[in-house]
C-alpha cells in the first residue's frame, strides 16, 4: 500500500486535471508558464503592428503593449471566474486577436487611433447582446459561414507578414534587403522545426525560440536594435485612461460590430473545442454566451485603457486539450503573470526592440494556421455545389473588392470604409446571406 506521503503527491498531481483542483505552486507554475510562453508573441504583436502602421511614437507603442498584457490578463481571469454571467467558467487564455488586424488597420488609416477605440467601445457593448442571444442565433453561423470568414482573415494578413519579412515600413531605403530575408527565413525555419520536431515546452514555444534566435542574429548584425526606450522606461506604471481619446465614426463602428460578430463565431469554435477536448462534453449555450459577453465587457474596458480586442488563443486551447490540465489555479497564475508584465513599462519597451523581419518570420506561421483553420471548418460540411459557391463567391467578392478598392470610388465614403478596406466584412455578409437564402443541397460531395 502507498504511504500517506505518496498518496498526497498523487492527489496533488491529480488536482491539475480537476477544474476546482488546488495543485501546489510547484506543480501549477510550470503549467502556467507553458501557457504564457504559448500566447506571449501573439499578444504583443498586434499592438506593435498597429503602432507601426499609424506611425505612433515609441512611447505610445510601449503603452499599447502594456495595455495588451493587462487586458489579456483581465479577460483571462474573467473567463475563468465569471461575474454576473460575464465569462464562461472554463479554462482558457485570452489575448489581443490577430483576426481584428485588417479592420483595425483600415479604421486606423482612415480615421486614426481614436476611431479604433471609439468603434471598439460601441461594438464591444453590442457584442454583449450577441452573447445574450447566442442560444437563438447560433444556428445561423454554421461551419460554412464561419470557415469562410476565418479563411478570409488568414488571406488578408499575408501582405502584412511579407511587408514585415522584407523589413517593414521603417526600412525606407533598404526595404527587401537580403539581410532582412536571411533573418526572417532563419526565424521561420527554427519556428517550424520546433513545431514539427520538438516536444513539450520546445513544441509549444516554437515562435518564442525562433524570435529569440532571430533577435540574437539581429544584435550581431548591428544597427537594427535600439535600447534607448528600454533605458528611459520606468519599472512600474499604471494604465492611462483615455490616453488617445475616442472618436465615433458610423462606418468604423459598423465594421467593428460586424468583426465582433465574426469573432464570436470563432469563439464558439474555441469554447466548443475546450469543452469537448478537456471535459468530453459539448459546450453549453450559457458557457458560449458567457464567453462572448466576457469578451464584450473586456473590450469596453480595453477601449478605455488602450487594450485592443481579445479572443481565446487557439494554441492555448490546443495545450489544454493535449495536457488535460484544467485546474483554475493554473490559469489564475497565467492571468496574474500577464497583469504584472503589463504594469512594467520596461517589459513593453524591450518587446518594441524586436526587429520587424523577426516578427514577420514568426507571425506568418500564425497567419498560415488561421487560413488552414478556415479550410478545416469549411470541410466539416459537404463540398457540394451549394457550399462551394457560397465559399467561392464570398471570397471572390471580399478579396476582389478590397484588392481593387477603386471599384467602389463612386460609392459613399462610409460604404467604402465598411466593405472596401478589408475582405472580411464583405465575405462575411455574402456568406451569411447566401447561407440563409440558398436552399440546402443534400447531394453528395463531388
> Could you tell me which of 64, 59, 57, 191 has the C-alpha nearest to residue 117?
64
Q: How far apart are CA 399 and CA 392, in angstroms?
A: 10
Q: How far apart are CA 377 and CA 382, in angstroms?
A: 11
Q: How far apart are CA 69 and CA 64, in angstroms?
A: 9
> Could you tell me which of 268, 264, 259, 338 has the C-alpha nearest to residue 90?
268
Assigned C-alpha cell, 269: 469554435
Cα angle 50, 53, 58; round to 5: 75
> Could you tell me which of 41, 39, 15 has the C-alpha nearest to residue 330?
15
What pLDDT is stored for residue 442 in this prediction?
62
206, 195 contact by CB (below 8 A): yes
Q: How far apart are CA 10 and CA 4, in angstroms?
A: 10
Q: How far apart are CA 376 and CA 353, in angstroms?
A: 36
Place of cell 483600415: 106
What pLDDT is stored for residue 304 in this prediction?
92
What pLDDT is stored for residue 73 in this prediction?
92
Q: pLDDT of 138-162, one tens digit each?
A: 778 787 887 887 788 778 778 878 8
57, 173 contact by CB (below 8 A): no
What pLDDT is stored for residue 74 in this prediction?
93
Assigned C-alpha cell, 202: 520546445
> Could you tell me which of 205, 204, 155, 164 has the C-alpha nearest to residue 184?
164
Question: Above 80 in pLDDT, residue 332?
Answer: yes
What pLDDT is stored for residue 134 in this prediction?
74
Q: How far apart are CA 130 and CA 393, in angstroms?
A: 27
Of 37 and 341, more confident? 341
Q: pLDDT of 166-220, one tens digit each?
A: 887 666 677 878 888 988 999 899 888 887 887 766 776 677 788 888 888 888 8
The H or E element that residue 310 is part of is strand 310-312
CB half-sphere exposure, 61, CA atoms < 13 A: 22
Q: How far apart are CA 237 and CA 42, in angstroms?
A: 23
Which pTM was predicted?
0.74
Mean pLDDT, the chain, as a whole number?
81
Report the 10 Å Cβ neighbour count for 170: 11
DSSP-H helix ranges across 133-238: 134-137, 143-165, 178-197, 201-204, 206-221, 228-232
Of 10 and 49, more confident? 49
Q: pLDDT of 75-126, one tens digit each?
A: 999 999 998 889 888 888 888 887 788 788 888 988 989 999 999 999 999 8
Q: pLDDT of 222-232, one tens digit each?
A: 777 777 777 77
What pLDDT is stored for residue 9 in this prediction?
53
Amino acid at each position: 500500500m502507498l504511504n500517506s506521503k505518496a498518496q498526497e503527491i498523487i492527489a496533488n498531481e491529480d488536482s491539475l486535471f480537476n477544474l476546482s483542483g488546488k495543485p501546489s505552486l510547484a506543480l501549477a507554475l510550470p503549467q502556467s508558464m507553458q501557457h504564457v510562453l504559448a500566447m506571449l508573441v501573439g499578444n504583443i504583436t498586434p499592438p506593435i503592428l498597429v503602432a507601426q502602421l499609424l506611425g505612433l511614437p515609441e512611447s505610445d507603442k510601449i503603452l499599447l503593449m502594456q495595455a495588451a498584457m493587462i487586458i489579456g490578463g483581465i479577460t483571462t481571469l474573467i473567463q475563468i471566474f465569471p461575474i454576473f454571467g460575464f465569462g464562461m467558467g472554463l479554462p482558457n487564455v485570452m489575448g489581443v486577436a490577430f483576426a481584428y488586424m485588417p479592420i483595425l488597420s483600415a479604421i486606423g488609416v482612415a480615421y486614426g487611433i481614436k476611431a479604433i477605440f471609439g468603434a471598439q467601445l460601441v461594438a464591444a457593448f453590442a457584442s454583449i447582446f450577441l452573447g445574450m442571444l447566442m442560444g437563438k442565433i447560433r444556428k445561423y453561423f454554421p461551419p460554412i459561414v464561419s470557415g469562410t470568414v476565418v479563411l478570409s482573415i488568414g488571406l488578408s494578413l499575408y501582405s502584412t507578414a511579407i511587408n514585415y519579412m522584407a523589413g517593414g515600413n521603417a526600412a525606407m531605403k533598404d526595404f527587401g534587403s537580403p539581410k532582412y530575408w536571411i533573418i526572417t527565413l532563419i526565424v521561420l525555419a527554427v519556428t517550424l522545426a520546433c513545431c514539427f520536431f520538438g516536444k513539450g515546452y520546445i513544441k509549444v514555444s516554437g515562435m518564442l525560440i525562433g524570435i529569440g534566435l532571430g533577435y540574437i542574429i539581429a544584435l550581431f548584425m548591428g544597427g537594427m536594435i535600439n535600447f534607448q526606450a528600454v533605458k528611459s522606461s520606468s519599472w512600474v506604471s499604471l494604465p492611462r485612461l483615455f490616453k488617445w481619446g475616442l472618436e465615433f465614426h458610423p462606418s468604423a463602428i459598423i465594421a467593428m460590430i460586424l468583426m465582433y460578430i465574426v469573432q464570436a463565431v470563432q469563439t464558439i469554435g474555441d469554447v466548443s473545442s475546450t469543452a469537448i477536448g478537456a471535459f468530453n462534453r459539448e459546450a453549453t449555450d450559457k458557457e458560449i454566451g458567457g464567453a462572448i459577453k466576457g469578451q464584450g465587457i473586456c473590450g469596453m474596458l480595453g477601449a478605455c485603457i488602450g487594450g485592443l480586442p481579445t479572443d481565446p488563443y487557439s494554441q492555448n486551447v490546443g495545450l489544454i486539450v493535449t495536457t488535460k490540465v484544467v485546474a483554475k489555479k493554473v490559469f489564475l497564475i497565467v492571468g496574474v503573470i500577464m497583469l504584472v508584465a503589463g504594469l512594467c513599462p520596461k517589459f513593453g519597451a524591450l518587446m518594441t526592440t524586436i526587429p520587424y523581419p523577426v516578427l514577420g518570420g514568426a507571425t506568418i506561421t500564425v497567419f498560415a494556421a488561421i487560413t488552414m483553420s478556415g479550410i478545416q471548418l469549411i470541410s466539416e460540411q459537404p463540398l457540394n455545389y451549394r457550399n462551394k459557391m457560397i465559399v467561392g463567391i464570398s471570397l471572390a467578392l471580399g478579396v476582389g473588392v478590397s484588392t481593387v478598392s477603386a471599384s467602389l470610388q463612386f460609392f459613399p465614403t462610409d460604404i467604402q470604409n465598411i466593405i472596401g478596406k478589408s475582405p472580411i466584412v464583405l465575405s462575411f455578409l455574402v456568406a451569411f446571406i447566401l447561407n440563409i437564402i440558398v436552399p440546402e443541397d443534400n447531394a453528395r460531395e463531388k
